[in-house]
Structure 1
Amino acid sequence: MSFIFRRPLRAFALAAGLGLASSACTSQLDQVPSYTANAEVVYRDPVQIQQSLVRLYATLAVSGQSGPDGQPDISGIGEDFSQYLRQYWSMQELASDEGIIAWNDGNLSDISRNTWNANNEFIRAIYDRIFYQIGLCNEFIRQTSDDKLASRGITDANAAGTIRQYRAEARFLRALSYWHALDMFGNVPFADESSSLGGTPPPQITRAALFTYLEDELKAIEPTLVPARTAYARADQGACWALLTKLYLNAEVYTGTARNTDAVTYANKVLGASYVLAPEYRLLFLADNDATAANREVIFTVPFDGNRTRTFGGMPFILHASLGGSVPAADYGVNGGWSGLRIKPNIVDLFQGFPGNTSDARATFYTTGQTRTISDLFNFSQGYLVTKYKNVTSTGRPGSSAQANGGDGNFVDIDYPLFRLADVKLMYAEALLRGGSGGTAGTALEQVNEVRRRSGATPLAGVQLSDILDERGRELYWEAHRRTDLIRFGRFATGNNWPQKGGLATGRDIAAFRTLFPIPATDLAANPNLKQNPGY
């Protein structure tokens, strides 16, 4: 089969028909998803096995079994808020010095204020979504072992080899979700494909032990995954290396022991592969970013299709909620804005001279009718708007010279770049500056300046560790990295204030325990093996 999928898993319309029944949020990892067709039937057929793999990818993009809503995967919150990427993005952005949202739904404002507790339904949503995904992956991995395949008559070497590849991809997706759990929640419930089903609730694994598990798991699947850049929107070796780089770069936060040389080692693997920076920054965030030179920079993406991947989360949320006020929404390929998201002045101020006196193409802020400062969380006119993403193509459709809209006015065609080359270049530079050794891809300064030159920013004469945090803010804002970055640099709880932080309009320091989110009270009640994170 071909491993090069162009919008491959963009056919996420399949997700509703893959036989997975709708499920409420699970508080236990030993639950098996229900199938309308018995697992003995599904996993006897290589075609249905591939469709089941598609569902694992689709869970990052869709919110249930009937797009855009109607049969949610998890309960306890509106389906639009329950989508994986939407909640992961919100936790990374709204809890940091980047994003703020004007909506007053439930306890959403507590995320922007850094005043959440264990009963926050939005924190529960990302927690439940993470472990729902892990449960799906565990079942796929459980059902596709060599012994299981042989018992079901799948003995052809080519078919079995392809399914082993699928199994490695499922293990990567499980590792991705466990990394999200490690990063956001610390000590969490743990189960894998060997865990007993229907028995006692899963045990709680320590953060350090989960780190070791992820390190071993990613190294184990690396040889089985297809080579880097041969599987667009699927887990390949490049995605595995990028996740290992992130794991090692944050190791001191997760375990107390720095692993910067290991971060350099795996960043080197990415930098030595065939990834290339897109010639223009804007290409990365357009409706045809799968088909332009942007796809040579993207390492792992969550695909969206305005006609086939219909959800009110993910990219439709990020784009629509960033627009409002006097923004002409039609210029961004959508039929209107949702007047929610704005960017805090901390990020705007990284672009010295903005507005009007910066050559940096990354400063994509809309200012008309908007103030730079934010004193009222719920006033949408306070805070500049981010126009980084556009549901338009880089060029016109055949026969047209104008840009064309992607997909649909409500749902968008922009693939979300979860990992990309510029991020790895900056991680490589940071790991070197933190004392990592073995760099074969040039100096930290060379890698940072490659990223800057692409966007017309003046090259730096020298680079220090603090410059990396600022550069990551300029390059990667609105891409769900900021909370993790601030924690790694020791700038999350103290020494870096932003509007509404700690519940104060001008911002204030918060307690160190808030570098982790609480285990939701619902899961603590369901699983007596769990202990709450300190401070909650």
Structure 2
Amino acid sequence: MKKILSTLLIFAGLMTSCDSLLDIDPEFTQDAENFFNTEEDFERALIGAYDLMQTAYLQIFIGEIASDNSIAGGESVTDTQGLHEIDNMAHGGVNAELRDVMRFNYTGIARVNYIFEFQDKLDFSGKEQLLAQAHFLRAYYYFTLVTYFGDMPLIVDQRISLSEIARSERTPKEDIYAQIERDLAVAIEVLPWIQPEVGRITKGASMALLGKVLLYQNKFTEAASVLDDLISNNQAGYGLFEDFSRLFYVVNENVNEDVFTIQYSGQQGGDYGCFVCLQGNLAVGFHGIRQYNGPLYGDGNSYNLPTQNLYDAFSPGDIRRDATILDIEAFIASQPNPSAISYAQGAGGHTGYYNNKYIKRLDERGLPDDDLTSPLNYRAIRYADVLLMAAEAFARTGNDGRARTELNKVRERAGMNAINSSGQVLLDDILKERRLELSGEGYRFFDLVRTGKAAETIQGFQEGKHELFPIPQVEIDLAGGNWNQNPGY
């Protein structure tokens, strides 16, 4: 089975992509009037809508660096300065990374809306399945926007441009969530449990995302129902991969634990001029060990470095610690020739630790420049996350027994003793387990915010301000006064 790769015609969105195409139409031959005339046109449009999911490297960066899990790192404090500002809770309306989050996700929405605008132009077998995938993609992009920025313009079923977004008022987040739920309901109703092509959205992925969306809104009863349905009626064979220590290796991609996975390829080159054009996972090379020369790992840029606080949160016997965090000095000391191994520390900060889930390994590199072309997929939602979300939803609705059942499945796989707590202690245990199980994957900041624990956990976090990120100032300027900045910025 082949993966969905994004060699596509870019025909809609907020920016022009610089993807290399093998078969490209003559310039200016495709427009709304002569497109969507064939099933192939719709398929190409859908692949274009999938493409923007590959910017998920920003989720891995920001979701960890904004929290207590990691520091920005890198070559210097002015190298990718926006990440250092987020690390220090000093970010404002001028931040390249946050602007990318907004623009990339609206680009994805624009491509989805382009499909829906012309959905009635042609009928063909399988169109309902295609549109259901598009519904999921729009839900995913809007969910990212609403969790980062809160109220945002909500535009559906029509093409959008920067100027149109700027002329639109910000829609209350409750209305955006309602649209997300409607889109996911369609996807759940129509999509199969298993797709014939790896990487396409499934019924299970749609249910998992809906459970997460409901959890983020504190709709715990509804979340428990959806996640219970996913676990109890699991027809896709989801489960916990047996060997956690090797789960985040390329050879173990698309296994039973993968519920919603964003696919990458190392077979297309890239450059630093256009990160959105990449088909490889940029985060992996950026997490690599700076100027490293030694076994197993490849060199990289030393970003998103785990903290001592995170390392110490693990029990020494928890197999997830070393699978999640590379202690570089301990690793070198354990090798037969430690004196022959060398690396450098970036001036952007050094903790002695590296993200061992999404890190460059010597036998997993893509085409040059291999800092940009890793084939390692991003697990946006894996089955362990489903179980922990369900555990939380059950605990918050008074079903402690079922909460412990789902929680202890995750702990058993990690070789840890069962939890027997109840009430608030059980809920705290579940949230702690989320950190241990999912650290390094981009969820931590948003978990702390939605559970009200960010101010007590993140240094410099200000209540009433940092729950949301600032709207990029340039977008406010383009909106001509239609948008107010988020509180505190």
Following superposition of structure 1 onto structure 2, how do residues 371-390 of structure 1 map, counting pairs within 5 Å?
378=347, 380-389=349-358
Q: CA deviation at 1:248?
A: 0.9
Q: Which residue of 2 aligns with 1:319?
A: 284
Count of aligned residue pairs for this structure pair: 445
* C-alpha distance after superposition, 1:309-357 (max 9, x if no partner): 757658643222222258556513x4x221223102232122123xxxx
Please give the TM-score of this superposition, normalised by the length of structure 2. 0.83
Q: Which residue of 1 aligns with 2:483?
A: 530
CA pair 309-163 structure 1, distance change in 2 beyond 3 A = farther
Q: Which residue of 2 aligns with 1:279?
A: 242
- Return the alpha-carbon distance in structure 2 between the equivalents of residues 369 and 380 of structure 1: 16
Q: Which residue of 2 aligns with 1:192?
A: 156
Contact map agreement 1:325 1:369 (CA 8 A) in 2:
no
Correspondence for 1:307 among 267, 278, 289? 267
Q: CA deviation at 1:184?
A: 0.9
Q: Which residue of 1 aligns with 2:319?
A: 360
- Return the alpha-carbon distance in structure 1 between the equivalents of residues 249 and 261 of structure 2: 13
- Return the alpha-carbon distance in structure 2 between the equivalents of residues 405 and 116 of structure 1: 34
Q: Which residue of 1 aligns with 2:335?
A: none
Contact map agreement 1:286 1:390 (CA 8 A) in 2:
no
Q: Which residue of 1 aligns with 2:44?
A: 51
- Return the alpha-carbon distance in structure 2 between the equivalents of residues 124 and 377 of structure 1: 25
Q: Which residue of 2 aligns with 1:179?
A: 143
CA pair 36-265 structure 1, distance change in 2 beyond 3 A = farther
CA pair 238-310 structure 1, distance change in 2 beyond 3 A = farther
Please give the TM-score of this superposition, normalised by the length of structure 1. 0.76
Is 2:1 the counterpart of 1:24?
Answer: no
Correspondence for 1:237 among 203, 208, 213? 203
Q: Which residue of 1 aligns with 2:433?
A: 471
Contact map agreement 1:95 1:114 (CA 8 A) in 2:
yes
Give the aligned residue type for 1:345.
Q
- Return the alpha-carbon distance in structure 2 between the equivalents of residues 116 and 487 of structure 1: 16
SS at match of 1:352: coil
Give the aligned residue type for 2:11.
L
Q: Which residue of 1 aligns with 2:336?
A: none
- Return the alpha-carbon distance in structure 2 between the equivalents of residues 38 and 120 of structure 1: 33
* C-alpha distance after superposition, 1:10-34 (max 9, x if no partner): x33x13xx253785389xxxxxxx9
CA pair 326-191 structure 1, distance change in 2 beyond 3 A = closer
Is 2:477 the counterpart of 1:516?
Answer: no
Is 2:377 the counterpart of 1:415?
Answer: yes
Q: Which residue of 2 aligns with 1:462?
A: 421
CA pair 229-383 structure 1, distance change in 2 beyond 3 A = farther
Contact map agreement 1:434 1:465 (CA 8 A) in 2:
yes
Q: Which residue of 2 aligns with 1:267?
A: 227
CA pair 473-359 structure 1, distance change in 2 beyond 3 A = closer
- Return the alpha-carbon distance in structure 2 between the equivalents of residues 177 and 35 of structure 1: 28
Correspondence for 1:129 among 93, 104, 119? 104
CA pair 217-309 structure 1, distance change in 2 beyond 3 A = farther
* C-alpha distance after superposition, 1:414-437 (max 9, x if no partner): 111111110010000001111166
* C-alpha distance after superposition, 1:32-82 (max 9, x if no partner): xx9641333331111232122112112222xxxxxxxxxxxxxxxxxxxxx
Q: CA deviation at 1:231?
A: 5.3
SS at match of 1:53: helix
- Return the alpha-carbon distance in structure 2 between the equivalents of residues 118 and 379 of structure 1: 22
Contact map agreement 1:86 1:318 (CA 8 A) in 2:
yes
SS at match of 2:305: strand
Q: Which residue of 2 aligns with 1:397?
A: none
Correspondence for 1:90 among 41, 58, 61? 61
- Return the alpha-carbon distance in structure 2 between the equivalents of residues 457 and 35 of structure 1: 59
Following superposition of structure 1 onto structure 2, how do residues 217-256 of structure 1 map, counting pairs within 5 Å?
217-228=183-194, 232-252=198-218
- Return the alpha-carbon distance in structure 2 between the equivalents of residues 86 and 329 of structure 1: 26
Q: CA deviation at 1:191?
A: 0.8
- Return the alpha-carbon distance in structure 1 between the equivalents of residues 2 and 306 of structure 2: 30
CA pair 379-534 structure 1, distance change in 2 beyond 3 A = closer
- Return the alpha-carbon distance in structure 2 between the equivalents of residues 50 and 282 of structure 1: 37
Is 2:206 the counterpart of 1:215?
Answer: no
Gaps of 5+ in 2: 18-26, 332-344
Gaps of 5+ in 1: 1-5, 27-33, 62-83, 155-159, 253-258, 393-402, 503-508
* C-alpha distance after superposition, 1:505-536 (max 9, x if no partner): xxxx5233110011111111122432221212
SS at match of 1:349: helix
- Return the alpha-carbon distance in structure 1 between the equivalents of residues 14 and 141 of structure 2: 18
Following superposition of structure 1 onto structure 2, how do residues 293-304 of structure 1 map, counting pairs within 5 Å?
295-304=255-264
Contact map agreement 2:465 2:487 (CA 8 A) in 1:
yes
Q: Which residue of 1 aligns with 2:126?
A: 162
- Return the alpha-carbon distance in structure 2 between the equivalents of residues 389 and 450 of structure 1: 24
